[in-house]
Structure 1
Amino acid sequence: MAGKLQFSLVSPERELFSGEVDQVDAPGSEGDFGVLPGHAPFMTALREGQLRLYRSGQVTTFEVRGGFADVTPAGLTVLAESAVEV
């Protein structure tokens, strides 16, 4: 896999993460989904669950409650109603 995915996780209180990652797995309203660099654009609502970001062989997990995920050619932005690092 070539390249990195630009990822931002934002809650109403603050930006929790912004940077390049290898992959993000998120709890979509219609099921869990994963995003890799070069993913096709889409937007979806999120449900309560765990969002995992993978970078440099490490996994960081956040508990999210609602919000939206927007995948564009520039990367992935998650606007969560609530998000806390686990």
Structure 2
Amino acid sequence: MADKLHFSLVAPEREVFSGEVDRVDAPGVEGDFGVLAGHAPFMTALREGVVTVVDGAGSRTFEIHGGFADVNAQGLTILAEHAVEA
């Protein structure tokens, strides 16, 4: 079994998603990026766009409007100004 990435997507009003996933693709201000388990730590600002969460053969998408992404040893957390499932 491959390692899983812990991912949390948080908007001001609530936690939109939290779980163990295979990959997350997000819209950074300097370009789109993907995060897998074990990724090197970094922090970046986000632009308006789509966050894609891939787990197994399925995926879910969320529309976000700005915010920040923090990748660390515990996983990926996105703090979005606004987020809804697409």
**Does 2:69 align with 1:69?**
yes
Deviations 1:15-63 (A, max 9, x none): 0111100000000010000000000000000000000000121110000
2:31 pairs with 1:31 = yes
Gaps of 5+ in 2: none
- Count residues in correspondence: 86
What root-mean-square deviation, in Å, do the aligned CA atoms of Structure 1 and Structure 2 show? Answer: 1.0
TM-score (norm 1): 0.97
The structure 1 segments of at least 4 consecutive aligned residues displaced by more than 2 Å after TM superposition are: none
Which amino acid counterpart does residue 12 of structure 1 have in structure 2?
A: P
Please give the alpha-carbon distance, in whole angstroms, between the structure 1 residues aligned to 2:64 and 2:6.
Answer: 19
Sequence identity of aligned pairs in percent? 70
TM-score normalised by L of structure 2: 0.97
Secondary structure class of the residue paired with 1:27: strand
Equivalent positions of 1:1-86 (< 5 A) are 2-86=2-86
Segments of structure 1 that go 5 or more residues without pairing to the other structure are none
